[in-house]
Structure 1
Amino acid sequence: MKHFYCFLLAAAGLAISLPARPQHFSARPPATRPDALINELLQNLTTVQNEDVDYALLYDALYQLYTNPLNLNTATRDELASTYLLSEQQITSLLTYRFAYGSLLSMYELQAVPDFDLPTIRRLMYFTTIDEGNNSLLNRLPNPANHYLLIRYEQILEKQQGFTPAEPAKNGKLPARYLGDSQQWYVRYRYSRPRAYSFGLTVEKDAGEQMRWQPGNYQYGFDYVSFHGQVQNRGRWRNIIIGDYQLQIGQGLVLSAGFALGKGAETVQSIRRSTLGARPYTSLSEFGYLRGATATYALNRKLDLTLLLASNRRDANIKAATATEQALVTSLLTAGLHRTTAEREDRAILTEQNAGGHLLYHPNTRLQLGLTALHTSFEKNLQKRNLPYNQYEFTGRGNLVAGLHGSYVWQNVNLFGEVARSSGSKTFSGGIGAVGGALVSLSRRLDMALLLRHYDRNFHSFYANAFGEGSRTINESGAYVGIKYSVYRKFSVAGFIDRFRFPWLRYLVDSPSRGHDFLLQAVYTPTKKLSFHASYHEEHKQKNRPGSKTTPKEVTGTTRRVLVLNAEYSPIWGLQLRSRVQWGSFRYIGADPSEGFALIQDASYDRGRWSISGRMAFFGTDDYDSRQYAYERDVLYAFSFPAYNNRGKRQYLMVQYAVNRHLDVWLRWSRTHLSNQQTIGSDLDKINAPHQSEMKVQARWRF
Structure 2
Amino acid sequence: MGWKKYTLGVILLTAGCSLVGQSPVENPLEFLDELSDDVIDQIADYTDILDLLEYTKRHPMDLNTVKNHDLAKFRILNPTEINAILTYRDKYGPFIDPHELQVIPELSLEKIRLLRPYITVHHQNEITQNGAGYVLFRTSGYLPKRTGFRSQDDKPPAYQGSPQSILIKYRHFQRHNYSWGMSLEKDAGESFNFKGKPGFDHIHFHFFRTGLFNKIKTLALGDYRISLGQGLLQYQGFAITKSSNPLMIKRVAPVIQPYSGTSEYNYFRGAAAEFDSGGSIKNFVFIHRKKRDATLRGQPAEHATYFSAFQTNGLHRTIHEDAKRNQVAETIAGHRFQWDHKSWKIGLNSIYQGFSFPYKPVTRIDNIRRLTGSHFIGHSLDFSGHLKSFHLFGEVATQKYRSPAFTVSGLYSFNARLDAALLIRRFPAHFAPIFGNAFSARSTPNNESGIYLGMNYHPKEYSRLSFYLDSWKGLWPTFQAHGPTFDQDFMVRYETARRRKWEMFAQLKWKHRAKNHGHLSPAYNTVTYKDQINFRIQFRKIKYQRWRWTNRIEVVRTQPTNNIPEYGYMVFSDLLFSRLGSWWTYAGRIGWFDIPSYDTRIYSYEPDIRYSFSIPAFYGTGWRIAARISRKWRRGLRIELRTGWTFLPGQDQVGSGYNAVPGSFNQQIKAQMIHEF
Which of 122, 137, 160 is the equivalent residue of 1:151?
Answer: 137
2:175 is matched with 194
TM-score (norm 2): 0.92
1:312 aligns with 2:286: no
| Residue of structure 2 in register with 1:96 after alignment | 87
Query: In the aligned structure 2, how far is the partner of 1:104 from the partner of 1:450?
Result: 32
Alpha-carbon spacing, 1:46–1:185, altered in 2? closer, same or farther (3 Å): same
What do residues 522-543 of structure 1 show as CA deviations (whole Å, max 9, x unaligned)?
0021343111100100011110
Q: Hey, what does 1:52 align to over in structure 2?
A: 39
Query: Which one-letter code corresponds to 1:124 in the other structure?
Result: L
Return the alpha-carbon distance in structure 1 between the equivalents of residues 239 and 209 of structure 2: 25
**Alignment partner of 2:479 out of 477, 502, 507:** 507
Aligned equivalent of 1:636, options 602, 605, 610: 610
Map of 1:235-384 to 2, 5 A cutoff? 235-268=214-247, 270-364=248-342, 366-384=343-361
1:453 aligned counterpart, secondary structure? strand
Aligned to 2:383, what secondary structure does the other structure show?
Answer: strand
1:481 to 453, 456, 459: 453
Distance 1:371 1:422 in 2: 14
Q: String of CA shifts for 1:182-210, please: whole Å, max 9, x gaps.
A: 01111110111121111011221111001
Residue 128 (structure 1) aligned with residue 119 (structure 2): yes
1:631·1:642 contact (CA, 8 Å) conserved in 2? Answer: yes
Q: Residues 188 and 129 of structure 1: is their aligned pair in 2 closer, same or farther, counting only changes over 3 Å? A: farther
Segments of 5+ residues of structure 2 without an aligned counterpart are: 1-17
Aligned to 2:426: 454
1:468 aligned counterpart, secondary structure: coil
Q: Deviations over 1:131-173 (max 9, x none)?
A: 57899xxx98xx85212101101110211111112434xxxxx
Q: Which amino acid aligns with 2:263?
A: S
Give TM-score, length-normalised by structure 1.
0.89
Q: What is the deviation of 1:617?
A: 0.7
Partners of 1:311 and 1:351 within 8 A in 2: yes
**Paired letter, 2:272:** T
Counterpart of 1:16?
A: none
RMSD of Structure 2 on Structure 1 (CA): 2.3
Aligned AA for 1:532? M
Q: Which of 48, 51, 61 is the equivalent residue of 2:49?
A: 61
- Give the counterpart of 1:83 among 74, 84, 90: 74
Partner of 2:5: none
SS state of the match for residue 300, structure 1? Answer: coil
Structure 1: unaligned runs, 5 residues or longer: 1-25, 169-173, 424-428
- Does 1:420 find its partner at 2:397? yes
Report the counterpart of residue 208 of structure 1 in structure 2.
189
Q: CA deviation at 1:44?
A: 3.9
Aligned-partner Cα distance in 2 for 1:55–1:330: 23
Distance 1:247-1:132 versus aligned 2 partners, 3 A rule? farther
How far, CA to CA, are the matches of 1:460 and 1:27 in structure 2? 48
Aligned with 2:573: secondary structure? strand
Pairing 1:543–2:534 present: no
Aligned-pair identity (%): 27
Distance 1:311 1:58, change over 3 A: closer
Q: How many residues align?
A: 653
Counterpart CA distance in 1 for 2:253 and 2:630 is 36
On the 8 A contact 2:147/2:658 being kept in 1, the answer is yes
1:181, distance to aligned residue in structure 2 (A): 0.5
Q: Is the CA contact (8 Å cut-off) linking 1:28 and 1:528 kept in structure 2?
A: no
Q: Shift of residue 370 of structure 1?
A: 0.3
Q: Shift in Å at residue 420 of structure 1?
A: 0.4
Letter of the 2:480 partner, please give it: L
User: Secondary structure in 2 aligned to 1:51?
Assistant: helix
Give the Cα separation in 2 of the matches to 1:164 and 1:526: 53
CA distance, structure 1, for counterparts of residue 117 and residue 270 of structure 2: 32
Q: How far does residue 43 in structure 1 lie from its aligned partner after superposition?
A: 1.9
How big is the shift at 1:57? 5.0
1:42-61 CA-to-partner distances (Å, cap 9, x unmatched) read 22453354322444455532
The answer as to whether partners of 2:510 and 2:534 remain within 8 angstroms in 1 is: yes
**Alignment pair present for 1:699 and 2:643:** no
Q: 2:454–2:467: 8 Å Cα contact kept in structure 1?
A: yes
Cα distance in 1, alignment partners of residues 132 and 519 from structure 2: 56
Partner of 1:8: none
Q: Deviations over 1:39-96 (max 9, x none)?
A: 1xx2245335432244445553254144155442233334433332223443233122
Point out the more displaced range, 444-453 or 70-79. Answer: 70-79
Paired AA for residue 145 in structure 1: G
SS at match of 2:71: helix
**Post-superposition CA distance 1:247-304 (Å, at most 9, x none):** 2221101110242120120101x21112521101122222121110000011012111
In structure 1, the partner of 2:624 is 650
In structure 2, what is the equivalent of residue 10 of structure 1? none
CA distance in 2: counterparts of 1:52 and 1:334, whole angstroms: 15
**Structure 1 CA distance for aligned equivalents of residues 271 and 169 of structure 2:** 21
